[in-house]
Every structure is written in C-alpha cells, then in structure tokens.
Chain A
Amino acid sequence: MSPQITPIADTAQDLELSERILAPDGTRLSNPRLDGYVADVDASVLRSLLRDMVILRRIDAEGVALQRQGQLGLWAPCQGQEATQIGTARALAPQDYIFPSYRETGVIYARGAQPADYVRMWRGEEGAAYDPAALRVAPLQIIIGAQTLHAVGYAIGIKHDGADEVAVTYFGDGATSQGDVNEAMIFASSYQAPVVFVCQNNHWAISEPVAVQSQFPIAGRAPGFGIPSLRVDGNDVLACMAAMRWALEHARAGRGPAYIEAVTYRMGPHTTADDPTRYRTEAELEAWRSRDPIARLEAHLRAAGELTDEQAAEHRQAADALAAQMRAACLGMVTRPPLAVFDGVYAEPHTGLQRQRDEYAAYLATFEGEA
C-alpha cells in the first residue's frame, strides 16, 4: 500500500489527496482500502471515540487556561488533532509502547493518564509527566524527532525478544526535516523493526508552513526507505483508526515498519508562548474549522440517529469533570524540597555530585531557625 505522490504546495489540495472514510460533513464514504479495518466499529464504539475527543478538547482547553492563569509554565495545544491522536491511540494493544512528542496529550489520555499527568511536566514539577512503565509511554519528548530513534531501538528489542508488541512513535511534520527521523527510518527498515511511525502533519512547525519542510507529500518519503505508508485525513477519526490498524497489523505480522501521515491542522498556537496571528490567516483557520474532527463525527452519529442530546450532555459532563480533576491536581501539587534537585541524576552514587549536594545541604542548614 503506497500513497499518491503528487507534489503539493497548498493545504486544500493537500487534504484532498488523503484517504478518508468520513466526509467533512459526516457522510460515510466508501473506502475499499480502509473499510475492512473498521468493519467492526459500531455506533457504540463511534460514540466512545466521540466522547474521548470531546474530553481531550476539554483537557486541552483546561491546559491553556491553567497556563494563562500562571499555573503552568507552558502548554502545547492539540486542538484540531483529536481525531489523529484518539483514532490512532485507540487502535493500540495494551502491550504496545509509545514514544510521543510533547503534543500527544490525546495519546496519553487514551493510555490512561491520570489528571496530574497532563500538567506535572508543564508546571515544572518533574522532568517527565508520568510513570512510563504504567502507561507504556516514554516521557513526552521536546527535542524534535529524537524519540523516533528510541522507538526503533525499542522495536529492535521487541524483535530480539520475540514479543508480540509494537513500538509506536508520534512526531510532527517539522520533525521530518530532522536527521534523527530519517536515521530512524533507515534503522527501522534495515532491521525490519516492528515500529509504526505516525507523522501528525498539522501544517505548521511553529511558524514554518509544511511547504517549507516538504514539497512532496510526507508519506511519499517512507517508500524510499522501504517502508510502506498511508496518507490519511487526520480529522477523520475512523480513517485514523483504520490506518493505525493497518500499520499495527503490518508490524505485528513481522513485516517490518509502517508509516502513517495524518493530514490535520493545529487550530491553536504552537504553544502558549506562540502568536499564530503573525504567520497565518483567518481564512485558513476558517477553512479548517469546517473540517473539525469532533463536529464531523457528531454529524455522522446524529444523521444516523445514534447520538442523543443526553449522550452528548454526558460527554460534556465527563469532560468537565476531568478538567476539574486536572485543575485540582495542578493546584494541589506540592513542589519537592530543595535537595530534590539532586535526586535521580545518577542511578549509582557519584562522589562529585554527592560533594555538591553536601555543600548545598550545609548552606541550606545555615538558614535553619530563621523565620
């Protein structure tokens, strides 16, 4: 299965070249390539996907609000990318291991993140947001594309262990310009590692449009590395789930790596420190609002008579409840004591660091008894 490889320059044409199951207005389309992968997805599963996306959007909004209120140092919004994150992550088996970038709030949500897990890192309390072993998700990665190599190494380990697992890595369109992502594809291909690459092409790497990163569909690169790829409408949760099931099946069957480019759009800023009005137009945003992944699935379910107002209200209530828990967890965090700054640098005693720790402890002790 390989993508169409027509050179692209504008976002509208870009999207028309991707695989889709749900039209932007929610109409169910026939897709011979993907339909078989979601034949079992009934209305109740669709509703649960919708519920997840509604909750994710609310988590994301809460993250932005907490940052604006000074509770978080930074937040990386994922509004607009709910279908890509929920659709792909929900396709995973529990034993699969994920190497995400910093924007994968929906992926860690789908893996069972706890309310505090969304904010711990952005608040600056700990370097990693959650226990990687508990979620089977590596720490959120800020260095662009570095995690793709980690996924490939992990997948090589899976293969050596003969385990029924797949490693998955998420990254953005900007990351595809990085050497590490290209090296990851080379290593994955050379060792036929069971790894799935998920590129969330959200069209903007901070202020650089995807056309600066690529004059060619990003999914078109993978076959050059010997990796089959699929280019899907990233705002179509069914297409994302189907593509991921295809990729996982491919990797799990011992046929090596697979690659997905999910064509989506980051509706908000790159992070809360960014001002996208400086580099993109309202007209572009408006065009993408009409492709909203949540509205699309909701329209589909409503048209089929499979979503009641009560169910929709329950989704919103669940979202509000999680947002409240997230806020409470954030406000309730207790910063560790000063000497914790030394904790965990080394796994075994390091005399040089111990000396510094002792010096700092002695310094701190001089303040004891002061008000």
Chain B
Amino acid sequence: MTELTLGKALGAGLRRALRDDDKVVLLGEDIGRLGGVFRITDGLLDEFGPTRVIDTPLAESGIVGTAVGLAFRGYRPGVEIQFDGFVYPAFDQIVSQVAKLHYRTQGRVKMPITIRIPWAGGIGAAEHHSESPEAYFVHTAGLRVIAVSSPEDAYRSLRQAIACDDPVIFFEPKRLYHHKGEVDLGAPLADAPPMGLARVVREGSDATVLTYGAMVTTALQAAEAAEDEDISLEVIDLRSLSPVDYGTVAASVRKTGRVVVAHEASREAGVAAEVIASVTELCFEYLESAPVRVTGHDVPYPPAKLEKYHLPDLDRILDAVDRVLDRPHSVSGADA
C-alpha cells in the first residue's frame, strides 16, 4: 500500500492505463508539459511522448470530437476537460455523438472514451469553475457516470473507466485532490469491485445518507457528529451515478427505513430526485418517513464568498437527519 493524494492516485491510474494498453491516448488542454492545471498528468508526456499524451488546442468540442474519431480508429481516448463549467462547449459531441454511436450502429462502433472532469466547488474558484453538471449526463442514455471520493477509488475506477467499452463521464472532486489515502498500486483490476457498485463507507442503523464525491467527506463528518447524540448513520458513497447500485442502496434503506440524499448539485430534477424516486419504488413499505434531499440551491453557482451558503455542510445534513428521524430541531421540518 502507498499513501497518495487523490490527485496523485489519478495520475498513477492514468500511467498504469497507458502502460497496460497502447491504444490508450490522452487528450486535453495543458495536459502535456504543464501536467494539467491540477498536475494530474504530471510526467506522463515525458514517459509516453506526444502521440500518447496530446496537448490540444483550446476547444472542448474539438477535444471530444477528435476523441470520437480516435475511438472509430480503435483507440481508447482519455479526455481531460479543464473544469466542470467548460464541458458545455463539448456537450453536443458528448450527448449526440459519444453517447449515441454505439446504439445507432447496433454495437458496431464502440466509444470507449473516458471524459475526466475536475468537478464541483468548495475551493473558492472563479465563475464557471465549481459546477456540478452530473445530472445532464446521468439523463443521457449511453453514458456511464462515475464520481470518485477517495484515492483508492480514484486509482481503481479510472483504470476501470478507461478499460470499459462504454463512454464514461468521470467526475473528480477538486476539493479532494489533495486528500490522502492508502492505494494498492499493484492490485489486479480483476479483483476490484466493479465500477458501478456503491460503497458502504460507514455502517449505521438509524438512517441512510446517500451521497457521492466530496460530499462523502461531509457526510462522514455529519455521521461523527450524530454519533455524539447516539444517532447511528449509515453513509453510502454511490460512486456510480449511472447506473446507480440500487442493490446496495435498497439493502441499506430496508435496514434503516430512513433516507437522506446529499449532493452539491442543485435540486430540481437532480440525482437526488431520481434516487429518491427509485428508492420509493423499490422499498416504499420499508420507509418510516419521507426521504429528504440536501442539495445546492437552484441558483447559478454563487460567487466564491457565498459558496458556503450554497454547498451542503454537516449541519444541513444533520438537520435533514433530524427530519427523517422525526426529531425536534431548530431549522426546518415538522414545525415549519
């Protein structure tokens, strides 16, 4: 085991993928000599050269569109979008081309493209640098959507995404790039849990908190705090947003009977809405109370000085826990 930051683990995952399969190529702005604005691709140009690690013009649709052509040619492109808010110029190529070509051709054309997106807020960034666009991609058939939350998961899931014959939108929480954890760099991919599986991060019995990305850390903090009040929270990192692992989710909900879903993305038609709808369909008779969402507000991502009022924190999660447990509380709920 090696202790690595999440960012370094991602770099190690890319290096391993490049070594394992010479059809893997990386494309993106600044990924070469600079090593990416977050240095995730640091050193890869030197090791693999400019035909494997391709610095591109500053054109997101161009990056994804040429990746489509490379996939036609049998390559497995790994694309880096510089920031979440910059993926929109590539949106057409992702949803109209990357997502649909396998279906349109009855499986004759594969699109094994991994699109890495440094993602979400909490780092005091400038406008367009802190967004959570995952619902757009979850809503698009043909894509898989992954959000990682730990160095080990980042290393393993990224390799799985690149090895996957389907296109994968791969969200990397910027807020956690410097978080450290143990990574088993030698572990065979075949032994790892599949990319689509959720992970029970903390076991508990009173309520289930479903979340992903950087919010996993916040949810764990909330669970620590709740323990002081003898509330036992089960925290599940969904890891995969398409597909969601409802086997793991439903097993937990059947145990606890109470559900909180937390994410940074805004609420309307978001991932939490979908997860709660599915949980309700799958285990309605086990629910002791109405599930509660804790999300970003339905506002454009606010300026950095205001983002703390937008992002769910442990107090908002605990408030939601109070509501699903029908406990008296100070902020919102039954008496509101």
A347 touches B62 (CB 8 A): no
B66 touches A350 (CB 8 A): no
A183 touches B141 (CB 8 A): no
What's the Cα separation between A190 and B102 when bound, in Å? 29
- How many A-B pairs fall under 8 Å by CB? 153
Residue A112 lies at the interface, judged by CB distance under 8 Å to chain B: no
What B residues does A139 contact at CB under 8 A? 101, 104-105, 109
With A127-B105, A132-B109, A346-B102 known to touch, is A149 a contact of B68 (CB < 8 Å)? yes
B59 touches A187 (CB 8 A): yes
What B residues does A355 contact at CB under 8 A? 246
Residue A351 lies at the interface, judged by CB distance under 8 Å to chain B: yes
What's the Cα separation between A128 and B107 when bound, in Å? 11
B61 touches A180 (CB 8 A): yes
What's the Cα separation between A7 and B100 when bound, in Å? 40
B157 to chain A, nearest CB (A): 14
- Residue interface bits B143-178, CB-to-A below 8 A is 1, else 0: 010000000000000000000111000000000000
Residue A124 lies at the interface, judged by CB distance under 8 Å to chain B: no
B57 touches A149 (CB 8 A): no
A224 to chain B, nearest CB (A): 15
What's the Cα separation between A46 and B66 when bound, in Å? 37
B60 nearest CB neighbor, chain A only = A183
What's the Cα separation between A183 and B61 when bound, in Å? 8
Residue A94 lies at the interface, judged by CB distance under 8 Å to chain B: no
What's the Cα separation between A200 and B47 when bound, in Å? 43
A190 nearest CB neighbor, chain B only = B57
In residues 79-101 of chain B, which contact A (Cβ within 8 Å)? 89, 92-93, 96-97, 100-101
With A139-B104, A143-B92, A350-B243 known to touch, is A183 a contact of B57 (CB < 8 Å)? yes
Residue A160 lies at the interface, judged by CB distance under 8 Å to chain B: yes
A347 to chain B, nearest CB (A): 4
In residues 49-68 of chain B, which contact A (Cβ within 8 Å)? 51, 54, 56-57, 59, 61-62, 64-68
What's the Cα separation between A132 and B208 when bound, in Å? 48
What's the Cα separation between A184 and B62 when bound, in Å? 6
B5 to chain A, nearest CB (A): 30
In residues 164-210 of chain B, which contact A (Cβ within 8 Å)? 164-166, 196
What's the Cα separation between A126 and B101 when bound, in Å? 12
Residue A167 lies at the interface, judged by CB distance under 8 Å to chain B: yes
B108 touches A150 (CB 8 A): no
A133 touches B108 (CB 8 A): yes
Residue B315 lies at the interface, judged by CB distance under 8 Å to chain A: no
What B residues does A183 contact at CB under 8 A? 57, 59, 61-62, 65
What's the Cα separation between A131 and B107 when bound, in Å? 10
B107 to chain A, nearest CB (A): 4
Residue A286 lies at the interface, judged by CB distance under 8 Å to chain B: no
B97 touches A143 (CB 8 A): yes
A347 touches B166 (CB 8 A): yes
Residue B70 lies at the interface, judged by CB distance under 8 Å to chain A: yes
Residue B308 lies at the interface, judged by CB distance under 8 Å to chain A: no
Residue A370 lies at the interface, judged by CB distance under 8 Å to chain B: no
B106 to chain A, nearest CB (A): 5
A352 nearest CB neighbor, chain B only = B243
What's the Cα separation between A225 and B311 when bound, in Å? 44
What B residues does A351 contact at CB under 8 A? 196, 243, 245-247
Residue B303 lies at the interface, judged by CB distance under 8 Å to chain A: no
B96 nearest CB neighbor, chain A only = A143
With A146-B97, A149-B93 known to touch, is A344 a contact of B106 (CB < 8 Å)? yes
What A residues does B72 contact at CB under 8 A? 97, 132, 138, 150, 153-154, 157
What's the Cα separation between A186 and B101 when bound, in Å? 24
Residue total for A at the interface (Cβ-Cβ under 8 A): 45
In residues 199-227 of chain B, which contact A (Cβ within 8 Å)? none
What B residues does A127 contact at CB under 8 A? 100, 103-106
What B residues does A158 contact at CB under 8 A? 73
Residue B232 lies at the interface, judged by CB distance under 8 Å to chain A: no
What A residues does B196 contact at CB under 8 A? 350-351
B57 touches A348 (CB 8 A): no
Question: Which residue of A143, A152, A344, A345 is within 8 Å of B69 (Cβ)?
Answer: A152
Residue A156 lies at the interface, judged by CB distance under 8 Å to chain B: yes
In residues 129-171 of chain A, which contact B (Cβ within 8 Å)? 131-133, 138-139, 143, 146, 148-158, 160-161, 167
A157 touches B75 (CB 8 A): yes
B197 nearest CB neighbor, chain A only = A351
What B residues does A187 contact at CB under 8 A? 56-57, 59, 62, 66
A149 touches B65 (CB 8 A): yes
What A residues does B65 contact at CB under 8 A? 146, 148-150, 152-153, 180, 183-184
Most chain A CB within 10 A, of B59, B64, B196, is at B59
Residue B142 lies at the interface, judged by CB distance under 8 Å to chain A: yes
- Residue interface bits B27-61, CB-to-A below 8 A is 1, else 0: 00000000000000000000000010010110101
B70 touches A157 (CB 8 A): yes
Residue A36 lies at the interface, judged by CB distance under 8 Å to chain B: no
Residue B244 lies at the interface, judged by CB distance under 8 Å to chain A: yes
A347 touches B110 (CB 8 A): yes
Most chain B CB within 10 A, of A97, A150, A161, A167, is at A150
In residues 99-133 of chain B, which contact A (Cβ within 8 Å)? 100-110, 112
A150 touches B69 (CB 8 A): yes
B244 touches A352 (CB 8 A): yes
A170 to chain B, nearest CB (A): 15
B51 touches A149 (CB 8 A): no
With A154-B70, A157-B70, A351-B243 known to touch, is A344 a contact of B102 (CB < 8 Å)? yes
Residue B266 lies at the interface, judged by CB distance under 8 Å to chain A: no
Residue A368 lies at the interface, judged by CB distance under 8 Å to chain B: no
B70 touches A146 (CB 8 A): no
Residue B256 lies at the interface, judged by CB distance under 8 Å to chain A: no
A257 to chain B, nearest CB (A): 13
A169 nearest CB neighbor, chain B only = B69
What A residues does B141 contact at CB under 8 A? 345, 353
Given contact pairs A146-B93, A157-B69, A190-B57, a sample of 12 additional A-B residue pairs in the complex whose CB atoms are under 8 Å apart: A139-B104, A149-B93, A150-B69, A152-B69, A154-B70, A156-B66, A156-B70, A179-B89, A344-B105, A345-B103, A350-B243, A351-B245
Give 11 CB contacts A-B under 8 Å: A132-B108, A149-B62, A149-B64, A153-B65, A153-B73, A161-B73, A179-B59, A180-B61, A345-B102, A346-B142, A351-B246
A residues with a Cβ closer than 8 A to B are 97, 99, 126-128, 131-133, 138-139, 143, 146, 148-158, 160-161, 167, 179-180, 183-184, 186-187, 190-191, 343-348, 350-353, 355
